[in-house]
Amino acid sequence: MADAFVLNRQNILERLGGDEEIYTMMLDMYLQDLDANCASLSAAIASGQAIEIRREAHTIKGLLATFSDDRGAAAAYVVEQQAKAGDMNGLAAAAATLETRMREVAMVLAAARCPG
């Protein structure tokens, strides 16, 4: 996932029906829940339970898609599908890459929230 996340606020607002309040709420929730989402994915990977990994990857896919991060959402989809297939090979590395992407998105969102 070499491409840096670039915030396209207008695109996101269009997805949200132009509702600034929902945009702000979603942004705040993403930032507040980031550590818990990362920890949940790590715990799922550590458990080796495919259903848990799949659920956490699916959640992350939705979060990243909300902010129009197609690359991040696609990476989460790969983890989700790999877990669905029961293939645990390389999932720890894929999860680490996904966590890095989630944190990158969070930095961009936080900067957009508090310009200065």
Q: What is the CATH number of the domain that holds 23?
A: 1.20.120
Q: Per residue in 26-58, pLDDT tens?
A: 999 999 999 999 999 999 999 999 999 999 999
The answer to whether the CB of 9 falls within 8 A of the CB of 26 is no
Tell me which residues of the chain have a pLDDT lower than 70: 1-2, 115-116
- Is residue 65 domain-resident? yes
- Is residue 1 domain-resident? no
CA-based nearest residue to 109, from 22, 31, 20:
31
Instruction: State residue 2's pLDDT score.
Output: 59
- Is residue 2 domain-resident? no
- Is residue 88 domain-resident? yes
| Number of domains the chain is built from | 1
Q: Name the pTM for this structure.
A: 0.90
Range of the domain at 67: 10-111
Amino acid (1-letter code) at residue 85: A
Instruction: State residue 64's pLDDT score.
Output: 96
